[in-house]
Chains A and B, each alone.
Chain A
Amino acid sequence: MPEIKVTPLGAGQDVGRSCILVSIGGKNIMLDCGMHMGYNDDRRFPDFSYITQNGRLTEFLDCVIISHFHLDHCGALPYMSEMVGYDGPIYMTHPTKAICPILLEDFRKITVDKKGETNFFTSQMIKDCMKKVVPLNLHQTVQVDDELEIKAYYAGHVLGAAMVQIKVGSESVVYTGDYNMTPDRHLGAAWIDKCRPDILISESTYATTIRDSKRCRERDFLKKVHETVERGGKVLIPVFALGRAQELCILLETFWERMNLKAPIYFSTGLTEKANHYYKLFITWTNQKIRKTFVQRNMFEFKHIKAFDRSYADNPGPMVVFATPGMLHAGQSLQIFKKWAGNEKNMIKEDIAAITMYIVIMPGYCVQGTVGHKLLSGQKKLEMEGRTTLEVKLQVEYMSFSAHADAKGIMQLIRMAEPRNVMLVHGEAKKMEFLKDKIEQEFRPLPDPKKPRTMHGTLIMKDSSLRLVSPEQALKELDLNEHQLRFTCRVQLQDPYSDTDTLSRVYNHLKSVLKGYTVQHLPDGTVMVESIVLKVSSSAEDPNTKVVLLSWSYQDEDLGSFLSSLLRKGLPP
């Protein structure tokens, strides 16, 4: 029986910081090495010390494979290779190799130059790290060493995204990275052959979603933009610099071309230009349409989309602006948003129709706490820094253009690859549970992934051997008596009734409060709540003051302290 061990260091049952260790046939492979966007401390990188204490990783890892250039899949790469120390090969596809350093450099600039953090990787480290990268081609089988071979498949998620098949002897694992089963305007659909791996490690971002047809989405989007522009309105589309931005650009560009529209489209400059250059080069990684027409015209050479300048925001007339970042939490997109949301009142004077003239279209996911998230949850008044409030009068639209496979897509991939086992990562635990049930119905039961759980155990050191056993067994083996730790506590109550009456009153009260617990009135004048014992006795000085004696064991500490505080509040009349 082959033993394949999969340990997620990140993005096991959440999104961000993707990093998965796979041990297969004696080889150790790291799949992705991402960072978490939500943290600014040590938690943003995977915990590499899990692998090896303070040493270098080179001895332990046979290779590292990066699926695509998104930072939550490659953000920790320089940290791992240069700061923790790894000299082995890093595999990624050509486009990923080209674009990944741009994003890493941008990320470094923001963290170090803007936020002023120290102890972060430097530009030189990024360069050194990229020197260790070995590029991969699609469907090319690369022999990492004599036994380990890897092969990349098209994943569709972003330019250069790949799924990898890892094979040692007769055992194999497929890691999907992020993938998309529905083709879009610039990328094709993920594809894999019937390779029948032992485990398919699949992302499950949209485990509970089956999306509408993409044409509905595109049509809605184009219609909204077109209508607004035609009425002379302005459209702001906050996007992330790479990935969906290109998709929407192509969508609008071709629409403008088809419909002969003249309104300007702007794109806030920055790293996009550099990245766009690579999009133009890696035509083979795009979809059928772009591949077939690029001889006449490269679709990424936009005719209608121009670079944005800050001053353009005040220009009269219709315009469409793509601005980064996508969550409206900072930068140019927020600036433009503030400008337009605030200018609203002036515009109304000029033209009544201006109320609907501005729209914001949110094409993607927004993290809680950002302006984007607030807008999407329907807030009409936003608090800005400096205690100013911003009244939102413009229209806000949410349109999902995410390039992840939906539930049906995941199923389709499973059907294509026919794996023996499926492991879901990169998603929310609850949603995964749901999808897991579906997959089991469809195919066959899956083994439960091991989750970390707190358990009590006893470590026995005896005859120079170490064993982990349950406490009961340890007691028995060592022939020891079990000691019980009990807490007792007295609670004084003002209650004019007799002891027994008070006891039954306490009993009734507890019974009504503690639903779902066993509350017993024992004939020997005690009340038992689970294992907690309550006794009532009158105070010596004052018959109206009753003393309730509570006693609970160490294991029931939570319930016991709750009961004592409950009783201190008194009984209901």
Chain B
Amino acid sequence: YTSHLRIEQHPHEEVPAKKLRLTKPSKSAALHVDLCKASSPTDALQYLLQFARKPVEADSVEGVVRILLEHYYKETDSSVRLKIASLLGLLSKTQGFTPDCIVDDVINTLNSERSHQVLAQLLDTLLVIGTQVPESLNMRHRLIDVACKHLTDTYFGVRNKCLQLFGCLGSVDKPLPRESEGGGTGMAAKDVQSIISDYFGDQDPRVRTAAIKAMLQLHERGMKLQQIIYNQACKLLSDDYEQVRSAAVQMVWVLSQLYPESIVPIPSSNEKIRLVDDSFGKICHMVSDGSWVVRVQAAKLLGSMQQVSPHFLEQTLDKKLMSDLRRKRTAHERAKELYSSGEFSSGRKWADDAPKEKVDTTAVNLIDSGACGAFVHGLEDEMYEVRIAAVEALCALAQSSPSFAEKCLDFLVDMFNDEIEEVRLQSIHVLRQISTHITLREDQLDTVLAVLEDSSRDIREALHELLCYTNVSTKECIQLALLELLKNLTKYPTDRNSVWKCLKFLGSRHPTLVLPIVPELLSTHPYFDTPEPDMDDPAYIAVLVLVFNAAKSCPTMTALFSDHTFRHYAYLRDSLSHLVPPLRLPGRKLTSAPEASGLASSVESAQNFLKESLTRVCSVQQLDAPGAQSLLEFTIRDLQRLGELQTELAGTADFCATYLHCQLLLMKALQDKLWSVAVPLYLKQNAMVSGAAAQVLEETYKLEFLYSGLESRQIASIHHVRLQAKALQLVLLARTRRGVEPLLSACEKFLHEVDAFQRLFVTELPHFQDSFVDKLLDIMPRLAGSKPADLVKILQTTLRHSCFPQLKLPEQIRRATAAIIEPTGESDNPLRFTSGLVVALDVDATLEHVQDPQTTVKVQVLYPDGQSHVIQPKPADFRKPGPGRHRLITQVYLSHSAWTEPCQIDVKLLLAYSSSTSRSLGPRSAWNESTEGPTPLESTIEGTIPLSKPVKVFIMPKPARR
């Protein structure tokens, strides 16, 4: 009865206990009370479970552990002891607690423990403790000794844990002197491996797996595995249990990487081969294992075995090569004959499968030929995971061996026909990656091009990308490719841009192959004038793109053009300048003149120009106000033009121009003579200045988040400008507002920001000599104590009398850009839908140099009534077609109440930023070193920057019919 009462009372008692938890002994005391109160093992278990949910402070761990141990000795129920053991492990992970002190206790309990499960758990606890203190050699030896003692336990879990202990704590072979100095460690290292390998033959598959894993763990920790275990590992490959096989495959692979060149004998013959070849054959064998997990693993590992000899590699693609590959080295010729004579029929022709005369049977081997056909099997596997792994492995191997790349081409091309799109896509990507090694034959190209009709956009675009990098061998191939691409264009008009781009590369890659078919392509005739094709026909543009790009490196081609072709060239060069290269045309010297100089030198000169203009700007301080302003204006203009001309430097030039523009705005706002005049008269002036300050702020956010490749120094400069703008705002506030209260908080905020700046950019401060912030920091102590009015006055003078720091440019700055491809905004047909319901609008956009677009890029929809929605696309809608590029294909849901007229809405992309997630990693890490704890001062500022031009979409929500 009393015990019942206690349990009922318990919830009431717990409340004060919780409150007291913060004081030191309370936690352990509460636990103690709880455990003592527990009338039955189930209750105790409940308490322990509850206890485990709450964290324990480092300094009270010791006490808790004592109580737990004390209770442990008393406890008769094994499940409670098990829980206590696991709690000990959990507690020893607590930060700031050194678990050395409980090792002895745990080892003691081990010796007296009867239950196997609890034993395993205690060993696990020891493992945790051991990994907590990796430096202590002494402790490690003790733990290893304990593990040795329990290795012979009858329960598999105990043996597992012991092996795990070996794997995690067994001494790693340190460099030689160590070993000679303390013979014990050397011995232990040797022992550990042989002890573990003894358990490769354990009767329990779980222990076998644990043994292999322990060995792999040793390898991971840098211990060199001995070659002796290779044979054992190979035997384990044919184990009955998939987990063992799976671990063994890994083991064999590790050994093959460790001893690729050592020679192993082949059983049942007196020949020898390299170990890497032998293991390659064995892993290939596992590609046709019964368990798909093992198959995936084997296929994946094959990709990383690049040291394998080429003739072994090539056999992976040949199912029918029946010769035992071990003999092939000596009887290479015979094997080849065998292969060509084809003892087996291929099943492709009708009735050719009558048994043929037998070839020397000793050389024929159906499955033991290891590598033979491994990839053929892998690529045909039932599970697509295996197929993808095989495709990836093929890719890795082909990249390191051009001859293999040539051979595996047919198989990859076949994968374009897989039933699962993911596999198809992957194989197209793989082919693109190895395309430098290969030239497609006509029949292969044919198969590749057939995929252009695929209804999946991803597949088609991947294929376009592939064609951009493909080499073809004949002019027929070019013709074929063009034909299929045009077919694609008519079937899927939305592919326009992608197809054009593809043809651009195809043309510039194969000028000599395009040359002979130009008359045909342009349908010119030696005697007759042919009708002028329609300039707006996408197919015609496609042909022209191909021809013009080929003509770029083939000057004779222009002679074949007819008059209208030249006209069309001029038009396309203007309208699609990214697709049509500048050509040197006869009689049109002017257009080509500026491009005559080499590209490299022009980039260099542009760079020089950039540097010069920046240094010129530095001298601005010496000039009087109007002169400085006009210098800045001219420089900005120059830089903008430079960015347009030199695409390589566009980002940098743009960045500089924006930065200088900020300076110009600040200068204009400050240098005005009207500043000193009395307040009420200058409302207009104030408006101008506050506008400038707001603009500068906005620009600084653009500078910080829109450009990639910035170093902390540039970011410091940007922050500096922002600080100036904020100071300006503060001054303005002081002049316009009455009352001290708002001003006071604003001042305080500003001072915090200055402080934050100092902390963030401690390393950069030397570069800000004589600048605004430098001056401010000099008088900082004074500022902190002064009144708002004084502060404003100081700010005003400092602002006007400080020079701006010179902008130092990093290697490369890239501007994040985005362009909405779809909707085009050209449609006159409104998108009609019932008001109150939603309509999905397909949005397709390309993003360049946007980092982490999944979180930052958003779509904004602006309705005519000023309503705006910001939509976050799904992460899966972003694809990555190439480095630095992203593609957003998503659906945006529109909805609105009824309108009487169709009207246009704006759709645009936004780049969201927040100062706390600033990607300026440099300063952040610097700050991390200098200070501790979170920043209470830095308020996060979140906002968005428009990333693309808005596109207008015509929509018409109709009233719902009742």
Given A209-B344, A259-B455: 5 more A-B contacts, CB < 8 Å: A219-B447, A260-B455, A377-B351, A400-B347, A400-B348
- Pick the contact of A189 from B366, B367, B368, B382 — CB < 8 Å? B382
Q: Does A226 lie at the interface of the complex (its beta carbon under 8 Å from any beta carbon of B)?
A: yes
Whether B355 pairs with A433 at a CB distance below 8 angstroms is yes
Whether A431 pairs with B415 at a CB distance below 8 angstroms is no
Please measure, in the bound complex, the distance between the C-alpha atom of A416 and the C-alpha atom of B366, giving whole angstroms.
Answer: 14
On B, residues with C-beta under 8 Å from A are 240, 288, 290, 319-320, 344-351, 353-356, 358, 361-362, 364-368, 373, 376, 379-384, 411, 414-415, 417-420, 447, 450, 453-456, 491
Q: Which of A143-151, A338-346, A434-442 contacts B (4 or more CB under 8 A)?
A: A434-442
- Chain B contacts for A415, CB-based, 8 A: 367
For the complex of A and B, the 7 pairs showing the least CB-CB separation, nearest first, are A183-B382, A215-B414, A211-B347, A210-B344, A259-B453, A398-B350, A434-B355
Q: Which residue of B lies closest to A430 (CB)?
A: B355
- Chain B contacts for A407, CB-based, 8 A: 344, 366
- Chain A contacts for B345, CB-based, 8 A: 208-210
Please measure, in the bound complex, the distance between the C-alpha atom of A189 and the C-alpha atom of B382, giving whole angstroms.
Answer: 7
Whether B376 pairs with A258 at a CB distance below 8 angstroms is no
Q: Does A121 lie at the interface of the complex (its beta carbon under 8 Å from any beta carbon of B)?
A: no
- Chain A contacts for B240, CB-based, 8 A: 194
Whether A376 pairs with B290 at a CB distance below 8 angstroms is no
Whether B417 pairs with A215 at a CB distance below 8 angstroms is yes
Please measure, in the bound complex, the distance between the C-alpha atom of A194 and the C-alpha atom of B381, giving whole angstroms.
Answer: 20
- Chain A contacts for B417, CB-based, 8 A: 215, 218-219, 222
Please measure, in the bound complex, the distance between the C-alpha atom of A219 and the C-alpha atom of B420, giving whole angstroms.
Answer: 15
Please measure, in the bound complex, the distance between the C-alpha atom of A430 and the C-alpha atom of B379, giving whole angstroms.
Answer: 32
- Chain A contacts for B364, CB-based, 8 A: 438, 441
Whether B350 pairs with A376 at a CB distance below 8 angstroms is yes
Q: Which residue of A lies closest to B345 (CB)?
A: A209
Q: Which residue of B lies closest to A251 (CB)?
A: B419
Interface string of A403-444 (1 = CB under 8 A from B): 000111001100110000000000000110110011001100
Q: Does A520 lie at the interface of the complex (its beta carbon under 8 Å from any beta carbon of B)?
A: no
- Pick the contact of B450 from A226, A408, A442 — CB < 8 Å? A226
Whether A412 pairs with B455 at a CB distance below 8 angstroms is no
Q: Does A568 lie at the interface of the complex (its beta carbon under 8 Å from any beta carbon of B)?
A: no
Enumerate A381-410 residues with CB–CB distance to B below 8 Å: 398-400, 402, 406-408
Determine chain A's interface SS by DSSP, over half rule.
helix
Whether B382 pairs with A213 at a CB distance below 8 angstroms is no
Please measure, in the bound complex, the distance between the C-alpha atom of A289 and the C-alpha atom of B382, giving whole angstroms.
Answer: 9
- Chain B contacts for A287, CB-based, 8 A: 382
- Chain B contacts for A257, CB-based, 8 A: 455
Q: Can you give 10 A-B contacts (C-beta < 8 A)?
A: A189-B381, A209-B345, A219-B417, A259-B453, A260-B453, A289-B419, A399-B348, A431-B355, A438-B366, A441-B365
Whether A215 pairs with B415 at a CB distance below 8 angstroms is yes
Determine chain B's interface SS by DSSP, over half rule.
loop
**Known contacts A185-B419, A442-B367: does B353 contact A215 (CB below 8 Å)?**
no
- Pick the contact of B347 from A206, A223, A362, A434 — CB < 8 Å? A206
Whether B366 pairs with A289 at a CB distance below 8 angstroms is no
Whether A434 pairs with B358 at a CB distance below 8 angstroms is yes
Number of interface residues of A (CB under 8 A): 55
Please measure, in the bound complex, the distance between the C-alpha atom of A78 and the C-alpha atom of B661, giving whole angstroms.
Answer: 94
- Pick the contact of B346 from A182, A209, A223, A260 — CB < 8 Å? A209
Q: Does A278 lie at the interface of the complex (its beta carbon under 8 Å from any beta carbon of B)?
A: no
Whether A259 pairs with B355 at a CB distance below 8 angstroms is no
Q: Does A101 lie at the interface of the complex (its beta carbon under 8 Å from any beta carbon of B)?
A: no
Q: Does A212 lie at the interface of the complex (its beta carbon under 8 Å from any beta carbon of B)?
A: yes
- Chain B contacts for A216, CB-based, 8 A: 414
Interface string of A433-458 (1 = CB under 8 A from B): 11001100110000000000000000
- Chain A contacts for B491, CB-based, 8 A: 260
Please measure, in the bound complex, the distance between the C-alpha atom of A189 and the C-alpha atom of B386, giving whole angstroms.
Answer: 13
Q: Which residue of B lies closest to A433 (CB)?
A: B355
- Within the complex, the shortest CB–CB distance from A34 to chain B, in Å, comes to 22
Q: Does A193 lie at the interface of the complex (its beta carbon under 8 Å from any beta carbon of B)?
A: yes
**Known contacts A218-B417, A226-B450, A288-B384: does B368 contact A208 (CB below 8 Å)?**
no
On A, residues with C-beta under 8 Å from B are 182-183, 185, 188-189, 191-194, 206, 208-219, 222-223, 226, 254, 257-260, 287-289, 362, 376-377, 398-400, 402, 406-408, 411-412, 415-416, 430-431, 433-434, 437-438, 441-442
Whether A208 pairs with B350 at a CB distance below 8 angstroms is no
- Within the complex, the shortest CB–CB distance from B390 to chain A, in Å, comes to 12
Please measure, in the bound complex, the distance between the C-alpha atom of A92 and the C-alpha atom of B319, giving whole angstroms.
Answer: 35
Please measure, in the bound complex, the distance between the C-alpha atom of A406 and the C-alpha atom of B450, giving whole angstroms.
Answer: 30
Please measure, in the bound complex, the distance between the C-alpha atom of A376 and the C-alpha atom of B348, giving whole angstroms.
Answer: 12
Please measure, in the bound complex, the distance between the C-alpha atom of A287 and the C-alpha atom of B355, giving whole angstroms.
Answer: 33
Please measure, in the bound complex, the distance between the C-alpha atom of A399 and the C-alpha atom of B418, giving whole angstroms.
Answer: 19
Q: Which residue of A lies closest to B368 (CB)?
A: A442
Whether B346 pairs with A208 at a CB distance below 8 angstroms is no
Whether B353 pairs with A431 at a CB distance below 8 angstroms is yes
Q: Which residue of A lies closest to B363 (CB)?
A: A441
Whether A258 pairs with B382 at a CB distance below 8 angstroms is no
Please measure, in the bound complex, the distance between the C-alpha atom of A9 and the C-alpha atom of B839, giving whole angstroms.
Answer: 68
Q: Which residue of B lies closest to A193 (CB)?
A: B290
Q: Which residue of A lies closest to B344 (CB)?
A: A210
- Pick the contact of B376 from A213, A411, A416 — CB < 8 Å? A213
Q: Which residue of A lies closest to B356 (CB)?
A: A208
Please measure, in the bound complex, the distance between the C-alpha atom of A210 and the C-alpha atom of B419, giving whole angstroms.
Answer: 23
- Chain B contacts for A408, CB-based, 8 A: 319, 366-367, 373
Whether B366 pairs with A258 at a CB distance below 8 angstroms is no
Whether A412 pairs with B288 at a CB distance below 8 angstroms is yes
**Known contacts A189-B382, A206-B353, A289-B419: does B455 contact A213 (CB below 8 Å)?**
no
- Chain A contacts for B415, CB-based, 8 A: 215
- Within the complex, the shortest CB–CB distance from A413 to chain B, in Å, comes to 10
- Chain B contacts for A411, CB-based, 8 A: 366-367
- Within the complex, the shortest CB–CB distance from A545 to chain B, in Å, comes to 50
Q: Which residue of B lies closest to A259 (CB)?
A: B453
**Known contacts A214-B380, A411-B366: does B347 contact A209 (CB below 8 Å)?**
yes
Please measure, in the bound complex, the distance between the C-alpha atom of A289 and the C-alpha atom of B421, giving whole angstroms.
Answer: 11
Q: Which residue of B lies closest to A216 (CB)?
A: B414
- Chain A contacts for B348, CB-based, 8 A: 211-212, 217, 399-400
Whether A406 pairs with B419 at a CB distance below 8 angstroms is no
Please measure, in the bound complex, the distance between the C-alpha atom of A411 and the C-alpha atom of B453, giving whole angstroms.
Answer: 39
Q: Which residue of B lies closest to A399 (CB)?
A: B348
- Chain A contacts for B347, CB-based, 8 A: 206, 209-212, 400, 402, 406
Please measure, in the bound complex, the distance between the C-alpha atom of A412 and the C-alpha atom of B380, giving whole angstroms.
Answer: 14
Please measure, in the bound complex, the distance between the C-alpha atom of A402 and the C-alpha atom of B418, giving whole angstroms.
Answer: 19
Please measure, in the bound complex, the distance between the C-alpha atom of A416 and the C-alpha atom of B240, giving whole angstroms.
Answer: 10
- Chain A contacts for B353, CB-based, 8 A: 206, 208-209, 431
- Within the complex, the shortest CB–CB distance from A399 to chain B, in Å, comes to 8
- Chain B contacts for A398, CB-based, 8 A: 349-350
- Chain A contacts for B381, CB-based, 8 A: 183, 189
Please measure, in the bound complex, the distance between the C-alpha atom of A437 and the C-alpha atom of B356, giving whole angstroms.
Answer: 13
Please measure, in the bound complex, the distance between the C-alpha atom of A449 and the C-alpha atom of B380, giving whole angstroms.
Answer: 34
Whether B414 pairs with A211 at a CB distance below 8 angstroms is no
Whether A210 pairs with B361 at a CB distance below 8 angstroms is no
Please measure, in the bound complex, the distance between the C-alpha atom of A376 and the C-alpha atom of B350, giving whole angstroms.
Answer: 7
Please measure, in the bound complex, the distance between the C-alpha atom of A191 and the C-alpha atom of B288, giving whole angstroms.
Answer: 11
Please measure, in the bound complex, the distance between the C-alpha atom of A226 and the C-alpha atom of B350, giving whole angstroms.
Answer: 22
Please measure, in the bound complex, the distance between the C-alpha atom of A415 and the C-alpha atom of B367, giving whole angstroms.
Answer: 9
- Chain A contacts for B379, CB-based, 8 A: 213, 215
- Within the complex, the shortest CB–CB distance from A159 to chain B, in Å, comes to 15
- Chain A contacts for B367, CB-based, 8 A: 408, 411-412, 415, 442
Q: Which residue of B lies closest to A261 (CB)?
A: B453
Please measure, in the bound complex, the distance between the C-alpha atom of A427 and the C-alpha atom of B651, giving whole angstroms.
Answer: 73
- Chain B contacts for A442, CB-based, 8 A: 365-368
Q: Which residue of B lies closest to A293 (CB)?
A: B420
Q: Which residue of B lies closest to A219 (CB)?
A: B417
Please measure, in the bound complex, the distance between the C-alpha atom of A444 and the C-alpha atom of B223, giving whole angstroms.
Answer: 41
Please measure, in the bound complex, the distance between the C-alpha atom of A257 and the C-alpha atom of B419, giving whole angstroms.
Answer: 11
Q: Which residue of B lies closest to A366 (CB)?
A: B350
- Chain B contacts for A182, CB-based, 8 A: 380
Please measure, in the bound complex, the distance between the C-alpha atom of A437 and the C-alpha atom of B354, giving whole angstroms.
Answer: 16
- Chain A contacts for B419, CB-based, 8 A: 185, 254, 289
Please measure, in the bound complex, the distance between the C-alpha atom of A215 and the C-alpha atom of B354, giving whole angstroms.
Answer: 24
